[in-house]
Structure 1
Amino acid sequence: MSVQFKQIPRLAITLGEPAGIGAEQIVQLAQTPWDIEWVVIGNAALIQQRATDLNLPIQIQYYQTDALPSANLLGQVKVIDIDLPQPVIAGQLNVANAGFVIQLLDRAIAGCMSGEFDGMVTGAVHKGIINEAGLKFTGHTEYLAEKSRTDQVVMMLATPGLRVPLATTHLPLRAIPDAITPELLEKVITITYDSLQQQFGIANPVIYIAGLNPHAGEDGHLGREEIDVMIPVIQKLKQRMPNLIGPLPADTMFTQDKLKKGDAFLAMYHDQGLPVLKHLGFGQAVNVTLGLPFIRTSVDHGTALDIAGKGICTDTSFRYAIQVACDMLTGKTQETPHV
């Protein structure tokens, strides 16, 4: 997919949990000029306070919906100002401010769906405090799918040299085998393959697929999900997607020889694939939601409440998330492992 912009890209950035490190990262992002426009959906006073705490210069500019996109200048933060119900103390969650986080997401989704924004990059949220406030929230991936009325999306984490999409996301382990149906697996593989072609510019994606069970089921002796569900789906899809490889034992799927050849490594559940990715690229990884009607990337870390307000966080993952969003918009290949 090649997107032709009338002007430069405009991205929405959600601040995330206000007691976390998001506002500090926004201030850090502003310390270099950008050749795109990014607009923070957050709270201007909070961002200004964090800049003061860090002793870093920023200039708050309130976003005008009718303004043409313009690159962010050095020290400039463009903001859609959302009110905070109660004052924020860095590192201390407040259930009264949980609704603020949802407001940020809703504004970004509306802007992306209307074409106001070309994509969105999300800061870290705290699922627990949102649910404590009585707001049902499993995670960004599920919320974005529901609000955009998207039947199926795929959560994929990526770092230079490795992309790991997930067949299931935030489920307890005992629920995973029942969740991996032929219909789900076919949708996940198809979305992943098409996204790699259209948004990452890879003509013939190579996708390694992990089995669910140890040793990929050991020919049925350690489970039949590979035989009964996975192999039939893979064989069916190979007619259009010839470079699907699997199901493979997960413990040998991420070896160096395969990392050099693969464009994506599909894991069946959250903790099957993500420990490998985070070991390889913690701090320089990005969460991508495939299958949405708009581009969405996110930082790969949590709210970091333990270091919030101390001036020791970095914006590395946030910068990478912005860069990946821009590259996806233009269909630019993202550091394919085998070049």
Structure 2
Amino acid sequence: MNLPIVAITMGDGAGIGPEVTVGALLDPVVATLCRPVVIGDTSRLHAAAKGLGVDLKIAAVESISDAVFEPGRLNVIDLGLLPEDLPWGEVSPLAGDAAYHYVRVAAELAVAGEVQAICTAPLNKEALHAGGHNYPGHTEMLAALTGTDEVSMMLSTPRLKVIHVTTHVGLIDAVGKIEPGLVERTIRRGDEALRRAGNPAPKIGVCAINPHAGENGLFGYDEEAQKITPGIEAARAAGIDAVGPLPADTAFFLAGRGDYDLIVAMYHDQGHGPIKVLGIEAGVNITVGLPVIRTSVDHGTAFDIAGTATADPASMVEAIRQAAEMATR
């Protein structure tokens, strides 16, 4: 079977990224799902492996074509950007700059068609900015690096999947940004992602902005009728099973019991809150609309435990699994 190649970026080298990367790639299930190649620093991965007490061959390769996939071997495109004595658990401009370049290389490989998906370990936004790269996060960075005008953030757990119309903007700006075309495109990207993952007929619930979906104009300024409903109608006309606008306080309950395969949230906290209640360790962050699927753990760099060999790689394994499942074929 021709398994997809997944580029795995190591994340912030001062955080738990190296540890969860090594830990996840030790899981034998990963080799049955994809052919992973890490973009990072071999010295930091060696340190993580030593902390975990594991015997692992960490092999530097020049290119994807040089990678050899066999048990006990971890292929790394080694950028060699971090000093040997980089402290664990501290904000570092060097680590922030390096984390950017890991993602840059992964994006270049994706655009060239050399990898079929990207899975990212967490980076630290303060370190990223200190390193001279002023992006709100991975999502916006990858869009810029791949020349993609518009992407969507999807959060996925075993019980609930959510895609966002807007993400890293203030609430007032988010309401201003929402318009029928953006709503329709977000629904389409969510539908495409679920079909790619093997669901032939996704059922999609679309949230309202206002309480009780505006109560026919009682709350708000008719945003549902003007901004959301036309987008849903356009998606339905294209054959997508989309329903709404739904009151957000019940939409997630309905999805949780199985009425919907995907919920479209209008703004960041509307979608993130219910996912985080289910547990950060269960969530995977997926960027849809790029040349390839990008997934990530839905937790941060955990500086408080970095370098202690106590980070749980289960979320990274799940992120790799979903990257392989939805990889560009």
Same fold, judged at TM 0.5 (above): yes
What TM-score comes out, normalization by structure 2 length?
0.92
What TM-score comes out, normalization by structure 1 length?
0.90
Q: CA deviation at 1:330?
A: 7.5
The question of whether the paired residues in 2 share the 8 Å contact of 1:39 and 1:63 is answered with no
Map residues 76-95 of structure 1 onto 2, 5 A cutoff. Answer: 76-86=73-83, 87-95=85-93
Q: CA deviation at 1:203?
A: 2.0
Question: Who is 2:180 aligned against?
Answer: 182
The question of whether the paired residues in 1 share the 8 Å contact of 2:20 and 2:316 is answered with yes
Name the aligned partner's letter for residue 209 of structure 1: V
1:61 aligns with 2:79: no
Distance 1:60 1:27 in 2: 10
The question of whether the paired residues in 2 share the 8 Å contact of 1:234 and 1:244 is answered with yes
Question: Who is 1:37 aligned against?
Answer: 35
Helix, strand or coil: the match of 1:216? helix
Helix, strand or coil: the match of 2:22? helix
Name the aligned partner's letter for residue 11 of structure 1: V
Q: CA deviation at 1:49?
A: 1.3
Listed as ranges, the gaps of 5+ residues in structure 2 are none
Listed as ranges, the gaps of 5+ residues in structure 1 are 332-339
The question of whether the paired residues in 2 share the 8 Å contact of 1:92 and 1:305 is answered with yes
The question of whether the paired residues in 2 share the 8 Å contact of 1:38 and 1:72 is answered with no
Question: Who is 2:170 aligned against?
Answer: 172
Name the aligned partner's letter for residue 295 of structure 2: T
Q: Residue by residue, what CA displacement relative to the aligned partner does 1:156-186 show, whole Å, maximum 9, x if unpaired?
A: 0101121100011111112111010222112
Distance 1:244 1:268 in 2: 14
1:210 aligns with 2:245: no
Question: Who is 2:245 aligned against?
Answer: 247
1:23 aligns with 2:18: yes
The question of whether the paired residues in 2 share the 8 Å contact of 1:8 and 1:71 is answered with no
Indicate the RMSD between aligned Cα atoms, in angstroms.
Answer: 1.9
Q: How many residues align?
A: 324
Distance 1:61 1:258 in 2: 43
Q: CA deviation at 1:101?
A: 1.1
Q: CA deviation at 1:70?
A: 4.8
Q: Residue by residue, what CA displacement relative to the aligned partner does 1:14-54 show, whole Å, maximum 9, x if unpaired?
A: 00011110111122124333233211111101111122222
Distance 1:14 1:130 in 2: 14
Q: CA deviation at 1:303?
A: 0.6
The question of whether the paired residues in 2 share the 8 Å contact of 1:167 and 1:269 is answered with yes
Question: Who is 2:126 aligned against?
Answer: 128
Share of identical aligned residues, percent?
36
Instruction: Name the structure with the higher helix share.
Output: 2
Distance 1:319 1:133 in 2: 28
Name the aligned partner's letter for residue 29 of structure 1: A
Q: Residue by residue, what CA displacement relative to the aligned partner does 1:306-337 show, whole Å, maximum 9, x if unpaired?
A: 11111211001100011111111378xxxxxx
Structure 1 stretch 229-238 or stretch 288-297: which is displaced more?
229-238
The question of whether the paired residues in 2 share the 8 Å contact of 1:162 and 1:259 is answered with no
Q: CA deviation at 1:68?
A: 6.5
Question: Who is 1:335 aligned against?
Answer: none
Helix, strand or coil: the match of 1:169? coil
Helix, strand or coil: the match of 1:67? helix
Q: CA deviation at 1:132?
A: 2.7
Helix, strand or coil: the match of 1:309? coil
